[in-house]
Amino acid sequence: MSRWTRCCAALLLLVSAHLSAEVRSLTILHTNDLHARLSPLVDHHGGFAYVAAVIRRERAGCTDCILLNAGDIVQGSPVSTIFHGVPSYEISNLFGFDVSTLGNHEFDWGWQQTRKLLEIAKFPTVTANIVDDSGHLITGEPYRIVRVNRLRVAVIGIMTGDFHFLTTPKLRGQWHTLPPVETARKYAAELKAKSDLIVVLAHITPTEEREFLSSAPEVPVVVSGHIHTGMQEPLTHDGRIVVRVKGYGEEVGRLELQVDTDKKVPVSWKWKRIPVDPATIEPAPDVAREVKHWEAEVSARVDKPLAISKHAFTRPEVRKLIEQAMRDETGADFAFMNYGGVRDVLPEGQLLVRNIWDIMPFDNRVLVGTFKGSQLPPVVVGDRKIDPDREYTLAVSDFTAANQSAREELGTTGLEFPRDAGVMRDMLIGWFRKKKVIE
Ligand SMILES: [Zn+2]
């Protein structure tokens, strides 16, 4: 059930102390990490046609509403993988985003494709801190000023400083990030005189969200994305606020602000997370038509029976299945799958090839290397007994091999994986097909 969160008795005092200032209302509707989940999820929530329906219902008759999207529109379903993100961007043109920002996954088919996605978008996309070696911005513009209810809302886009670990050198080319908080503060200072409220639209980590609150007093509002779990309550500090909803189109956020146009800060806020539940709303017909068209393009390839699962599998359990499949199919002694790369759960009952695309939308390859027991990373060994002098084989994804020092990965450097065992998704489909029954 959605529920309003309210602040703050102290702010009432603030309001009365500034009766001369004009206070105007602003409503920010927001989404993040839609991840190409065109159709509803295993839990029956979400689906682009239902996301659009919720957005339109919330927007109907609203004179102070804007709609922001905090990155990762693509990557997460077969249609997105096969058509390199194009369908998600084409359909997103029907949502009416006032401003969007890039997520790391917008780079999953290389920066040239990122450019192509930006060309497809009929809505502005801003990222202030992804630059090339000569300082040019990949999005062209670092911010947008949106005018609504006689307010000028300056929206600055920001990408996580982890961008480096979330892509590979080939995918990002010469594009790299400038420090998120520092860059946002620079633009915020510049925009203060030209706007009535600064909003950072961010695809960042929870640590960076807290950094914004503690170290960016120029930024009163952050609309965030990247982590898919959403927040129970907004993060707040000194009257500043960060909000983020669930990914995969499971929720739309609604942040209602009263903005003091003199001080250029919100004097009060209410936030609610609106569930996108197809049982409670009719799909937006134009979006449903597009979803149907794109799903039909891939249905023959992915909507085929594959295996039976004896129970529903959580993401940690799916991770174990993937590691088992990697060991079985390559003959490796050990396998490691990074948890962030496991993109869905598995339902109980009939599994389709589509389910494997949903858990593994990436075109990752499986690589195998041979190492002395003493070289194996602890995260791989776990509590298994190993002989430090014996040789063992280890299977990982090419993404893990390229980012082995990153958090969530191997916590090591310099391991070489010379054997290429093929595309991971194909390997998983083959393994599930042979297993027939998954317990
Ligand atoms: Zn994401």
Instruction: Tell me how far apart the alpha carbons of residues 35 and 88 are, in angstroms, rounded to a whole number.
Output: 8
Residues 70 and 164 in one domain: yes
Give me ligand 1 centre to Cα 103, in Å: 7
Q: pLDDT tens digits, residue range 183-215?
A: 999 999 999 999 999 999 999 999 999 999 999
Residues 343 and 240 in one domain: no
Report residue 5's pLDDT band, with 50, 70 and 90 as the boundaries.
low
Residue type, 322: I
Q: pLDDT tens digits, residue range 348-387?
A: 999 999 999 999 999 999 999 999 999 999 999 999 999 9
257 and 28 Cβ atoms separated by less than 8 Å: yes
Residues 210 and 84 in one domain: yes
Q: pLDDT tens digits, residue range 82-110?
A: 999 999 999 999 999 999 999 999 999 99
Give me ligand 1 centre to Cα 167, in Å: 13
Does residue 424 form part of some domain?
A: yes
Look up residue 265 and give its two tokens: 């800060």
Give me ligand 1 centre to Cα 192, in Å: 30
Report residue 245's pLDDT band, with 50, 70 and 90 as the boundaries.
very high
Instruction: Tell me how far apart the alpha carbons of residues 100 and 121 are, in angstroms, rounded to a whole number.
Output: 10
Give me ligand 1 centre to Cα 72, in Å: 5
Give me ligand 1 centre to Cα 33, in Å: 4
Residues 425 and 352 in one domain: yes
Look up residue 112 and give its two tokens: 């040239």
Instruction: Tell me how far apart the alpha carbons of residues 179 and 419 are, in angstroms, rounded to a whole number.
Output: 37
Look up residue 199 and give its two tokens: 């909003």
Instruction: Tell me how far apart the alpha carbons of residues 76 and 79 are, in angstroms, rounded to a whole number.
Output: 9
Give me ligand 1 centre to Cα 263, in Å: 34
- Domain range holding 221? 5-293
Give me ligand 1 centre to Cα 249, in Å: 11
Does residue 298 form part of some domain?
A: no
Give me ligand 1 centre to Cα 228, in Å: 6
Query: Residue 77 maps to which CATH number?
Result: 3.60.21.10
Give me ligand 1 centre to Cα 285, in Å: 26
Q: pLDDT tens digits, residue range 277-327?
A: 999 999 999 999 999 999 999 999 999 999 999 999 999 999 999 999 999
Give me ligand 1 centre to Cα 374, in Å: 35
Instruction: Tell me how far apart the alpha carbons of residues 111 and 212 are, in angstroms, rounded to a whole number.
Output: 27
Among 237, 207, 235, smallest CA distance to 223 is for 235
Count of domains forming the chain? 2
Give me ligand 1 centre to Cα 229, in Å: 10
Q: ∠ at Cα 398 (394, 402), nearest 5°?
A: 100
What is the C-alpha end-to-end distance of the chain, expressed in Å? 33
Least confident segment among 182-191, 384-393, 405-414: 405-414
Give me ligand 1 centre to Cα 225, in Å: 7
Residues 269 and 315 in one domain: no
Residues 337 and 398 in one domain: yes
Give me ligand 1 centre to Cα 46, in Å: 15
Query: Residue 366 maps to which CATH number?
Result: 3.90.780.10
Does residue 365 form part of some domain?
A: yes
Residues 146 and 187 in one domain: yes
Residues 161 and 236 in one domain: yes
Residues 134 and 84 in one domain: yes
Residues 277 and 319 in one domain: no
Give me ligand 1 centre to Cα 34, in Å: 8
Residues whose CB is less than 8 angstroms from the CB of residue 109 and which lie 6 or more positions away in sequence, other chains included = 84, 85, 171
Report residue 14's pLDDT band, with 50, 70 and 90 as the boundaries.
low
Residue 438 has pLDDT above 90, yes or no: yes
Q: Which of 261, 293, 325 is the last residue before a domain boundary?
A: 293
Q: Please state, rounded to an integer, the average pLDDT across all residues of the chain.
A: 94
Does residue 204 form part of some domain?
A: yes
Look up residue 116 and give its two tokens: 């192509």
Residues 10 and 120 in one domain: yes
Report residue 407's pLDDT band, with 50, 70 and 90 as the boundaries.
confident
Give me ligand 1 centre to Cα 8, in Å: 32
Residues 282 and 371 in one domain: no
Give me ligand 1 centre to Cα 428, in Å: 22
Q: Which of 229, 264, 293 is the last residue before a domain boundary?
A: 293
Does residue 161 form part of some domain?
A: yes
Q: pLDDT tens digits, residue range 130-148?
A: 999 999 999 999 999 999 9
Does residue 299 form part of some domain?
A: no
Residue 182 has pLDDT above 90, yes or no: yes
Give me ligand 1 centre to Cα 5, in Å: 25
Helix axis angle for 285-302 and 48-59, nearest 10°, is 170
Does residue 195 form part of some domain?
A: yes
Q: Which of 267, 293, 319 is the last residue before a domain boundary?
A: 293
Q: Quick one: three-class SS letters along the chain?
A: CCCCEECCHHHHHHHHHCCCCCEEEEEEEEECCCCCCCCCCCCCCCCHHHHHHHHHHHHCCCCCEEEEECCCCCCCCHHHHHCCCHHHHHHHCCCCCCEECCCHHHHCCCHHHHHHHHHHCCCCECCCCEECCCCCECCCCCEEEEEECCEEEEEEEEECCCHHHHCCHHHHCCCEECCHHHHHHHHHHHHHHHCCEEEEEEECCHHHHHHHHHHCCCCCEEEEECCCECCCCCEEECCEEEECCECCCCEEEEEEEEEECCCCEEEEEEEEEEECCCCCCCCCHHHHHHHHHHHHHHHHHHCCEEEEECCCECHHHHHHHHHHHHHHHHCCCEECCCHHHCCCCECCEEEEHHHHHHHCCCCCEEEEEEEEHHHCCHHHHCCCCCCCCCEEEEEEEHHHHHCCCCCCCCCCCCCCCCEEEEEHHHHHHHHHHHHCEEC
